[in-house]
Amino acid sequence: MRREAVSGAKPRWLAAQACRAVLDRGQALDEAFASVLGEVEDGRDRSLVRRLANGVMRDWPALDFLVRELLERPMKAGDRIVFFLLAVAVHELRDGREPEHAVVHAAVAAAAGVRGGRLRGLVNAVLRNFLRRRDALEAMVAEDPARSRGYPRWLIDRIETDWPAEAGSILAAGNRVPPLWLRVNRRRWSREQALDVLTRAGFRAHLPDGFADAVMLDERVRVSKLPGIAEGALSVQDGAAQLVVDELELADGQRVLDACAAPGGKSAHILERAEVELTALDIDGERLKRVGENLERLGCNAKLKVGNAAEPGTWWDGRLFDRVLVDAPCSATGVIRRHPDVRWLRRPSDVEALVAAQRAMLDALWPLLKPGGILVYATCSVLVVENAGQVQSFLERHADARVIEHTELPGRSTGPGRQLLPGDEDCDGFFSLAARRLQ
For residue 51, is pLDDT > 70?
Answer: yes
Compute the chain's Rg from CA coordinates. 24
For residue 5, is pLDDT > 50?
Answer: no
Confidence of residue 150 (pLDDT cuts 50, 70, 90): very high
Residue 339 burial (CB count, 10 A): 19
Look at residue 77 in the predicted model and tell me its pLDDT: 85
Nearest to 425 by CA among 435, 437, 415, 411: 411
Q: How far apart are CA 358 and CA 281, in angstroms?
A: 15
Look at residue 6 in the predicted model and tell me its pLDDT: 58
Confidence of residue 408 (pLDDT cuts 50, 70, 90): very high
| CATH 3.30.200.20 applies to domain 3-150 | no
The hierarchical CATH code for the domain 239-437 is 3.40.50.150
In terms of Cβ atoms closer than 10 Å to its own Cβ (0-12, 13-18, 19+), residue 247 is buried
Q: Give the type of residue at 393.
A: S
CA angle 408/412/416 to nearest 5° reads 90
Nearest to 428 by CA among 154, 245, 152, 173: 173
Look at residue 358 in the predicted model and tell me its pLDDT: 98
Is the CA virtual torsion 3, 7, 8, 14 positive or negative? positive
Look at residue 56 in the predicted model and tell me its pLDDT: 98
192 SS3 class: helix
For residue 4, is pLDDT > 70?
Answer: no
419 SS3 class: strand
Look at residue 1 in the predicted model and tell me its pLDDT: 45
Q: How far apart are CA 94 and CA 57, in angstroms?
A: 14
- pLDDT, mean of residues 156-163: 97
409 — phi, psi (to 5°)?
-90, 150
Element spanning 33, H or E = helix 29-36
Read off the DSSP letter of residue 166. Answer: T
Q: How far apart are CA 95 and CA 90, in angstroms?
A: 8
Q: How far apart are CA 131 and CA 3, in angstroms?
A: 23
In terms of Cβ atoms closer than 10 Å to its own Cβ (0-12, 13-18, 19+), residue 118 is exposed
**Mean pLDDT for the chain?**
95
280 — phi, psi (to 5°)?
-100, 110
- At 242-279, the pLDDT tens digits run 999 999 999 999 999 999 999 999 999 999 999 999 99
- pLDDT, mean of residues 174-183: 96
Q: Give the type of residue at 289.
A: K
By annotation, the residues acting in catalysis are 380
Q: How far apart are CA 307 and CA 19, in angstroms?
A: 33
- Furthest C-alpha separation in the chain: 76
Look at residue 26 in the predicted model and tell me its pLDDT: 96
Look at residue 7 in the predicted model and tell me its pLDDT: 66
Q: How far apart are CA 177 and CA 335, in angstroms?
A: 11
Read off the DSSP letter of residue 324. Answer: E
- Which residues are CB-contacts of 382 (< 8 A; sequence separation ≥ 6)? 159, 162, 163, 170, 333, 334, 419, 421, 422, 429, 431
In terms of Cβ atoms closer than 10 Å to its own Cβ (0-12, 13-18, 19+), residue 427 is buried
Look at residue 8 in the predicted model and tell me its pLDDT: 87
For residue 102, is pLDDT > 80?
Answer: yes
- At 8-44, the pLDDT tens digits run 899 999 999 999 999 999 999 999 999 999 888 888 8
- pLDDT, mean of residues 401-424: 94
Nearest to 268 by CA among 248, 297, 288, 246: 297
Cis before residue 178, ω within 30 degrees of 0? no
Confidence of residue 52 (pLDDT cuts 50, 70, 90): very high
Beta-strand relationship, 277-282 and 255-258: parallel
Common-topology check for domains 3-150 and 239-437: no
Domain parsing of the chain, residue ranges: 3-150, 181-236, 239-437
Q: Which CATH class is domain 181-236?
A: alpha beta
For residue 299, is pLDDT > 90?
Answer: no
Nearest to 261 by CA among 187, 224, 315, 337: 315
Q: Give the type of residue at 438.
A: L
For residue 341, the cross-strand partners are none
- Which residues are CB-contacts of 132 (< 8 A; sequence separation ≥ 6)? none
Contact indicator for 353, 302 with CB cutoff of 8 Å: no
Sequential DSSP letters for 68-123: HHH-SSPPPGGGHHHHHHHHHHHHHHHHTSS-HHHHHHHHHHHGGGSGGGTTHHHH
- pLDDT, mean of residues 153-158: 97
Contact indicator for 306, 280 with CB cutoff of 8 Å: no
**Which segments within 4-51 are labelled E, that is strand?**
none
**Which segments within 153-217 are labelled E, that is strand?**
181-184, 205-206, 214-217
For residue 105, is pLDDT > 90?
Answer: yes
Residue 206 burial (CB count, 10 A): 13
In terms of Cβ atoms closer than 10 Å to its own Cβ (0-12, 13-18, 19+), residue 292 is middle
